[in-house]
Amino acid sequence: MLNFPVAAGTSGHLLGGALAAILVGPWTGVLCIAVVLLMQGVLFADGGLTALGVNIDVMGVVTVVTAYALFRGLVLVLPRTRRSVTLASFVAALVSVPASAAAFTLVYAVGGTTDVPLGKVLTAMVGVHVLIGIGEAVITMLTVGAVLAVRPDLVYGARGLTAPLKLRVGGELVDAAPATPATPAFAGSPRKLWIGGVVTALVLAGFVSFYASASPDGLEKVAADQGIDAKAEEYEHATADSPLADYGVRGIAAERLSGGLAGVIGVGATLAAGTGVFLVVRRRRTAAPESA
């Protein structure tokens, strides 16, 4: 819903793999992306249900694994500062998007039904998604930086990066005794941070989305230009009759109200589904040691 223009007639949107991996870790990050893609397919008839596995692999697994591996590699060699973490998040997000585009090309090579040359698809996909990656990198860097400034303990990728304190004793540097960890800002009220995040998501989906770019995203643009979607019109989406199909509420003529309301409903449904999945996973994790 929040597409931003990247070139003439082309837009991009946040994939979120890098952001999810850095904030909550790679395993939970893939789960987050999977829930979002599932909600898009079921509620908004966007992305397809039969292609859900491919979408999760290309936009979830590939982006998360690529971004997190690069992020961890960078933070290990860069100075242990907050600026290094934000810089690493920028680079990781930037690389993850064209990596996802390259993964799509591999899928196309295996199961593509058109005769468009593979090299042509790869060049077009990676080229446009490098531009989209810049937007993704900026959003990821700003978000990670904002969370670091308020609750650095909530950034999974930044754990264990605090440099040990050194003391000079007899002309030599030695490790100081471990001190009591500093209490992060707002440590007693993590609920405020989550409420702020939910409110931000509602505002973005319910209001800001109306001003998003209406141009096709990178994949849609390349598919149309290269003729990859030549057979797409032969098939109808399984949830094309959904009341929220195409990111609008059926029966509401006002475009702004229809799109905004659909966005708010989508945020609520995704939050509910994601919470349910995470509660199930947590219960299984806590039950495993007890059964052992």
Please, how many CA atoms are within 13 Å of residue 182, restricted to the half-sphere of its CB?
6
**Strand blocks (E) in the chain:** 4-7, 10-12, 166-169, 172-175
Domain range summary for the chain, segments of one domain joined by +: 4-163+189-220+240-291
Per-residue pLDDT of the chain in tens (292 residues, 90 and over written 9): 677 788 767 888 889 999 999 999 999 999 999 999 988 888 888 876 778 889 999 999 999 999 999 999 999 999 888 899 999 999 999 999 999 999 999 998 887 767 778 888 888 889 889 999 999 999 999 999 998 888 888 899 988 765 555 566 666 666 655 545 544 444 445 677 778 888 888 888 888 888 888 787 877 777 777 776 665 665 666 667 778 888 888 888 888 888 889 888 988 888 888 888 778 877 877 766 655 5
List residues bridging with 277 in a β-sheet. none
Whole-prediction pTM value?
A: 0.78
**3-class state of residue 184 by DSSP:** coil
∠ CA(137), CA(195), CA(86), 5° rounding? 25
- Residues 271 and 35: their CA atoms lie apart, in Å, by 9
Instruction: State the CATH class of domain 4-163+189-220+240-291.
Output: mainly alpha
